[in-house]
Amino acid sequence: MTRETDVTESFPPVVERPISRHRSHPAIISSARRLLERLTPYWTLTVVSLFSITAAIDAGQMPLLVNQIRHDLRVSDIQMSFILGFGTTIITNLLLMPAGWLADRFSRKIIFALSAVAWSIGATTSGFVNGFWTLFGARAGLSGAEATLYPTAHSMLRDAFPPKERGMPFSIFWAAQAIGSSISLVFGGMLLTWGNAGVFHGWPIIGGFKSWQIVLAVPGLCTLPLAVLMMTVKEPARIIDHVDGEVVEKGSVREFVSHVHKQWPLFWPSFAYSFFWALQAYGVIAWQPTALARGWGIPTDELGKITGMIGVPATLAGLLVGGWLVDHLGKRGVGDGAIKVCLVFSVMWGIFQIAVYYVGTPMLVYTCIGIAMFFNGTINASYYVAVSFVTPGRLMGQMISLQFLCLNVPYAFSPVLMAYIAQTYFSRMGNLSIIPGLKVVLISCTIIYLLFLALWAYRVGKFAKTHPDGAV
């Protein structure tokens, strides 16, 4: 008989070897790559937001240092006003459009990094000047570098995040400015107090400097590392489009002018809105402390302290709520959700901003200021999300520059306009004349800019129906 051979006897037993722990699994690598790609835009957001914080700190500290700078450098009030306002604003306005063109044509992270270095030099040297012209030169250089911040940052954020997820990133970027403004009051005041008390006396390097010099130099020194951090950012990919049969990735001045001309009915209400919004906003910033001190007996130092305490959390809350709401509407397919949020919050902000000057007690004044700052928190973020929705990515830098040019033009004469109206038409009220002068400009400009904003919201709504995913 033939013996049947057992198959299992012909082959050695199979031994299962455990998978090496040192071997990378393809699924793990793929997950890691997806996580890294997901986090990359937020690293971009982090770096540009940190720069926004330092810029806001520097801007907020300058008014605190006016008296000491005047005394030590022997400059007049007119000269200080020129440095704080008109002179440096002119530099920014002249460089805004070229900065936007650079952002649309070249590597934005390199532009941002170089500007951060230039800004750092300007801010740091502001603390080592010896007269009016050297101080003006340092602040002018800083202003020129800062002109690239907003067009470059908004262009990068626009391309880094999809249209339905831009609300929160834009809100965080603008929240950084609010954080910097609040830090400037605490940080600058703290350094001034320590410097005046002689705390830094005998310290290496900084021991021989005045307290105001230290306050001005520190933000500049802290900004230098941001230039290095920016070089670690991945340049957001620009969206490629076809214009007249040609592949277009970078926007030119000619294309930008042509685009604005063709879409003029869409864009002109936004430019008018920015102008009249700034016309009342800068005047209120300049004259509100004086008006409340004269009309309600609220000391200026108390106003600044309490406004900072209630304003910062209120602004941050408004930014986060508004950012979430914009993204929520975007994910539900509401293409014009950002401008709708901006319009509603602007109406509420205008109501409570005006109410500040019609309530009877300081407590109600602070309440109205806090509520107004909550609604104001999301206006800028939601507005520029709407701008990014209707603007092609390759033209975003120039569009943001033009928007900020409309905002900056009223900066030089808005406080003067309120003072002129007060002196010309309400001089019989004496020191209280600034209150009705402020009310006239505030109420009239609020009505005008809300009408322009409503018109622009209507035009953006029509645009969203034909471009549900926004401009390419």
CA torsion sign for 423, 425, 428, 433 is: negative
Q: What is the mean pLDDT of residues 88-117?
A: 90
Higher per-residue confidence, 405 vs 210 = 405
pLDDT for the residue numbered 189: 67
Dig out the tokens for 148 from the structure.
Answer: 């690239």
**Average pLDDT of span 6-18:** 49
DSSP state of 11: S
Nearest to 269 by CA among 36, 42, 453: 453
Residue 242 reports pLDDT greater than 60? no
CATH topology classification for 40-232: Growth Hormone; Chain: A; (1.20.1250)
Tell me the per-residue pLDDT of 106-148, one tens digit each, with 9 for 90 and over: 999 999 999 999 999 988 888 888 888 888 888 888 888 888 8
Q: Tell me, what's the pLDDT at 18?
A: 52
Q: Is the pLDDT of residue 84 over 60?
A: yes
Average pLDDT over residues 391-412: 90
The pLDDT, as a whole number, for residue 185 is: 66
Nearest partner of 156 among 80, 11, 57, 44, judged by Cα: 44
Q: State the average pLDDT for the chain.
A: 83
Residue 395 has pLDDT above 60, yes or no: yes
- Alpha carbon distance 383, 160 (integer Å): 18
Mean pLDDT, residues 291-299: 86
Mean pLDDT of 253-281: 93
Residues with Cβ within 8 Å of 223's Cβ and at least 6 positions away in sequence, in order, are: 51, 54, 116, 119, 120, 123
Q: Is the pLDDT of residue 319 over 90?
A: no
Query: Has residue 390 got a pLDDT over 50?
Result: yes
pLDDT band at residue 36 using 50, 70 and 90 as cut-offs: low
The full set of domain ranges for the chain reads: 40-232, 260-472
Q: What is the pLDDT of residue 130?
A: 83
Residue 397 has pLDDT above 70, yes or no: yes
Q: Is the pLDDT of residue 103 over 60?
A: yes
CA distance 300 to 294: 10
Q: How many CA atoms lie within 13 A of 47 on its CB side?
A: 26
DSSP 426: S
| Bridge partners, residue 319, by sequence | none
pLDDT at residue 416 in the model: 81
Q: What is the pLDDT of residue 39?
A: 80
pLDDT higher than 80, residue 66: no
What is residue 241's predicted lDDT score, i.e. its pLDDT? Answer: 60
Residue 271 CA, chain-centre distance (Å), reads: 18
Fold agreement (40-232, 260-472): yes
How many whole angstroms separate alpha carbon 341 and alpha carbon 123? 36
Residue 408 has pLDDT above 70, yes or no: yes
Average pLDDT over residues 28-52: 80
CA torsion, points 419, 420, 422, 423, in degrees to nearest 10?
110
Q: How confident is the model at residue 404 (pLDDT cuts 50, 70, 90)?
A: very high
CATH no., domain 260-472: 1.20.1250.20
C-alpha closest to that of 170 among 299, 331, 20, 338: 338
Q: Is residue 2's pLDDT more than 50?
A: no
**What pLDDT is stored for residue 240 in this prediction?**
62
What is the mean pLDDT of the segment spanning 180-196? 70
pTM of the model: 0.82
With CA atoms as reference, report the closest residue to 408 among 181, 90, 100. 90
Q: How many CB atoms lie within 10 A of CB 454?
A: 16
Residue 415: phi, psi to the nearest 5? -60, -35
Determine the pLDDT at residue 325: 93
Q: Are 132 and 84 in contact, with CB atoms under 8 Å apart?
A: no
Task: Tell me what pLDDT residue 5 has.
Answer: 44
Tokens of 24: 């990378």
The pLDDT of 386-409, averaged and rounded, is 92
pLDDT beyond 80 at 252: yes
Length of the chain: 472
